[in-house]
């Protein structure tokens, strides 16, 4: 379905001129199942990691993997200033649970974070890795499955339509 939208607009566009001018590999903007699912995997993974410059981490992976870069960069923004406190709070509690550490009462003040950073750092990143891996891999396989079944359904529908015309 999404393929049809992108294939309709196959004319020479500003994007094509931009790609040609700056010699950007076409795979970084391709719209196919592998590129999209890899972009989702990478973007969501880095989106869960509490660090500055998450988008640069995505871009640093481009020489090693071929994926849709705009999708990956947009997925990083799932962790935005509105969602970050909830995500990191959930990740901290999950990490503390799996490490068997006592849960601290979290206060959203700079003083509290300065005094407790050493206590929350390890549980936060343990929980972060759990969520980053589970959610990104889950989304990767989920979208992959949905894409494959969507294409199969589309082919069955086209075959039925062709058989009904006969």
Query: What pTM was computed for the model?
Result: 0.80
Q: What does the pLDDT average to over 16-42?
A: 81
Q: Where are the alpha helices (DSSP H) in 30-109?
A: 33-48, 54-60, 69-76, 84-99
Q: pLDDT tens digits for 64-104?
A: 888 988 999 999 998 888 888 899 889 999 999 999 988 88
**Residue 32 DSSP SS3:** coil
């Amino acid at each position: 379905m999404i393929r049809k939208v992108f294939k309709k607009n196959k004319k020479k566009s500003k994007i094509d001129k931009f790609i040609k001018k700056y010699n950007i590999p076409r795979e970084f903007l391709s719209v196919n199942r592998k590129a999209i699912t890899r972009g989702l995997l990478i973007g969501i993974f880095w989106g869960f990691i509490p660090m500055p410059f998450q988008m640069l981490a995505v871009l640093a992976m481009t020489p090693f993997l071929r994926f849709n870069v705009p999708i990956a960069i947009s997925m990083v923004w799932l962790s935005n200033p509105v969602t970050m406190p909830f995500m990191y709070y959930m990740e901290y509690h999950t990490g503390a649970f799996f490490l068997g550490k006592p849960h601290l009462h979290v206060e959203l003040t700079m003083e509290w974070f300065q005094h407790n950073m050493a206590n929350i750092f390890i549980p936060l990143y343990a929980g972060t890795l759990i969520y980053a891996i589970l959610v990104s891999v889950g989304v990767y396989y989920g979208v992959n499955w949905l894409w494959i079944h969507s294409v199969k359904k589309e082919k069955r529908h086209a075959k039925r339509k062709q058989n009904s015309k006969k």
